[in-house]
């Protein structure tokens, strides 16, 4: 097994069978072997810098019905909210003062936010903070909408592919959603010129080791700038409420494999990872991740953006989250930096 990791380190890719074998058979010892290599590569491209993104969860209305997600439209218990443009700008203002130079606007697919409204929000943020990057994470749209957001000043787009296997995709989503369309969106975004992020949940219901290997190979093909992964965590108001959560160990192992497969990728150590283990985000950084995404959403809406159960940091002000993150990173020998944090060029 160690030879396979060595091979991956040299070639930055393995076959479907080889990835599957590693994912099926990983041990704590093999993980340590992988993480050391992942850290070396990450240090080569990014040193000990950790990039910060300020996450603004601006709406939890959603027209989709993804089976795993706590803000799916069928969840009648979700307490719905929308931030106004002024609320969003206020989040940016406090974020800017705290050193954030990337704002991530994330939300459900909420028809209230027409293209016109999104464009107006992008322009307003860019006007006030021209030195900041804007990342959108608002789901599947038409090519022309993506183009219009880009023209208005959006820099990056996060759209997790969720799973690269068609049959598995069908088990996690209602039938009106398709992997084909999701992938098409990712290719459109890339072509337009966004820095693009895809990603998946680790340990989602019905997922096999081979599915995860397919995820890694899809990522290798897409060559995204970012990859967001985190453990699946059951949400009590969804049909998956009794399903098992993804594990810390497998999520970390996948982070390590991704660092070796796409060496310069921007890899967040996610809130979901911090939710299943008190030191999850630190361990993610030590497994090869290089990005953290503290929350900038107003405290009064935090608990409402409940994609999954027990989400952390729902009671903290932005400043608390930012300094808590700084302390956590410093404790493991890393430091959060004030910069846009763009993707490093491949050598
Ligand atoms: N509507 C946007 C944003 C989705 S929320 C979009 O379609 O891209 C961001 C991510 O949260 C999702 O892509 C999904 O991977 C993750 N997520 C949703 N429910 C989850 C759960 N129960 N456990 C872990 N992650 C979840």
**212-238 pLDDT, tens per residue?**
999 999 999 999 999 999 999 999 999
Q: pLDDT at residue 334 above 70?
A: yes
pLDDT, residue 46, reads 97
Closest ligand 1 atom number to CA of residue 158: 8
Q: Reply yes or no on whether the pLDDT at 347 is more than 70.
A: no
Q: What is the mean pLDDT of residues 66-78?
A: 98
Binned at pLDDT 50, 70 and 90, residue 186 comes out as: very high
Q: Which atom of ligand 1 is nearest to the CA of 62?
A: 1
> How many angstroms separate the alpha carbon of residue 60 from the centre of ligand 1?
11
Distance (Å) from CA 69 to ligand 1 centroid: 6
Distance 58 CA to ligand 1 centre (A): 14
Q: Report residue 105: phi and psi, to 5°.
A: -95, 110
Give the chain's mean pLDDT.
Answer: 97
Protein residue closest via CA to atom 10 of ligand 1: 160
Residue range 247-296, pLDDT digits in tens:
999 999 999 999 999 999 999 999 999 999 999 999 999 999 999 999 99
Q: Looking at residue 45, what is its pLDDT?
A: 97
Question: What distance in Å separates the CA atoms of residue 114 and residue 59, rounded to the nearest whole number?
Answer: 13
Å from CA of 212 to ligand 1 middle: 17
Q: What is the mean pLDDT of residues 319-329?
A: 94
Of all residues in the chain, what percent carry a pLDDT higher than 70? 100
Tens digit of each residue's pLDDT (9 = 90 or more) over 16-50:
999 999 999 999 999 999 999 999 999 999 999 99
CA of 307 to the centre of ligand 1 (A): 6
CA distance 121 to 86: 9
Q: Is the CB of 307 inside a 6 Å radius of any atom of ligand 1?
A: yes
Closest CA to 133 of 118, 154, 150, 151: 154
346 band by pLDDT with thresholds 50, 70 and 90: confident
DSSP state of 82: B
pLDDT at 140 over 70: yes
The pTM of this model reads: 0.98
CA distance 325 to 328: 5
User: Best of 58, 68, 251 to mutate for ligand 1, by most ligand atoms within 8 A of CB?
Assistant: 68
Q: Is the predicted pLDDT of residue 345 greater than 90, yes or no?
A: no
Ligand 1 atom closest to Cα of 68? 22
What sign results for the dihedral spanned by CA atoms 149, 151, 157, 163?
Answer: positive
> Residues 263, 268, 270, 276: is their CA dihedral positive or negative?
positive
Query: Ligand 1 centre and the CA of 160: distance in Å?
Result: 8
Q: What is the model's pLDDT at position 115?
A: 98
Q: Is the CB–ligand 1 distance for residue 255 below 6 Å? A: no
Whether 263 is in the pocket of ligand 1, judged by its Cβ within 6 Å, is no
Closest ligand 1 atom to residue 308 Cα is 22
Instruction: Please write the tens of the pLDDT for every residue from 283-308.
Output: 999 999 999 999 999 999 999 999 99
The pLDDT of residue 67 is above 70: yes
Cite the beta strand spans of the chain per DSSP E.
Answer: 49-52, 54-59, 102-107, 133-137, 156-158, 195-202, 226-231, 291-292, 335-337
Count Cβ atoms within 10 A of the Cβ of residue 241 and give its class: 0-12 exposed, 13-18 middle, 19 or more buried: exposed
For the Cβ of 201 lying below 6 angstroms from any atom of ligand 1, the answer is yes
């Amino acid at each position: 097994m160690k030879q396979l990791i060595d091979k991956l380190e040299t070639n930055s890719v393995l076959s479907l069978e080889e990835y599957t074998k590693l994912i099926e058979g990983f041990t704590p010892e093999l993980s340590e072997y992988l993480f050391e290599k992942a850290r070396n590569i990450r240090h080569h491209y990014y040193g000990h810098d950790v990039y910060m993104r300020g996450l603004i969860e601006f709406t939890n209305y959603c027209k989709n019905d993804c089976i795993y997600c706590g803000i799916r439209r069928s969840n009648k218990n979700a307490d719905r909210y929308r931030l106004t443009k002024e609320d969003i700008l206020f989040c940016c203002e406090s974020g800017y003062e705290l050193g954030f130079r990337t704002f991530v606007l994330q939300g459900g697919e909420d028809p209230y936010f027409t293209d016109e409204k999104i464009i107006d929000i992008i322009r307003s943020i860019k006007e006030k903070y021209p030195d900041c990057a804007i990342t959108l994470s608002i789901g599947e749209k038409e090519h022309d909408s993506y183009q219009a957001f880009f023209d208005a000043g959006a820099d990056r787009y996060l759209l997790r592919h969720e799973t690269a296997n068609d049959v598995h995709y069908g088990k996690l989503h209602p039938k009106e959603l398709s992997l084909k369309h999701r992938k098409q969106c990712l290719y459109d975004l890339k072509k337009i010129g966004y820095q693009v992020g895809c990603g998946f949940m680790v340990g989602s219901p019905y997922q096999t080791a081979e599915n995860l290997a397919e995820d890694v190979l899809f990522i290798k093909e897409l060559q995204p700038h970012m990859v967001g992964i985190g453990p699946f965590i059951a949400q009590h108001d969804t049909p998956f409420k009794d399903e098992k959560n993804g594990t810390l160990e497998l999520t970390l192992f996948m982070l390590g494999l991704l660092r070796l497969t796409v060496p310069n990728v921007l890899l967040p150590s996610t809130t979901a990872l911090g939710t299943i283990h008190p030191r999850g985000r630190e361990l993610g950084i030590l497994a090869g991740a290089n990005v953290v995404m503290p929350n900038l959403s107003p405290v009064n809406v935090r608990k409402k953006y409940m994609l999954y159960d027990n989400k952390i940091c729902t009671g903290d002000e932005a400043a608390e989250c930012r300094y808590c993150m700084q302390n956590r990173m410093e404790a493991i020998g890393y430091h959060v930096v004030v910069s846009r944090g763009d993707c490093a060029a491949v050598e």
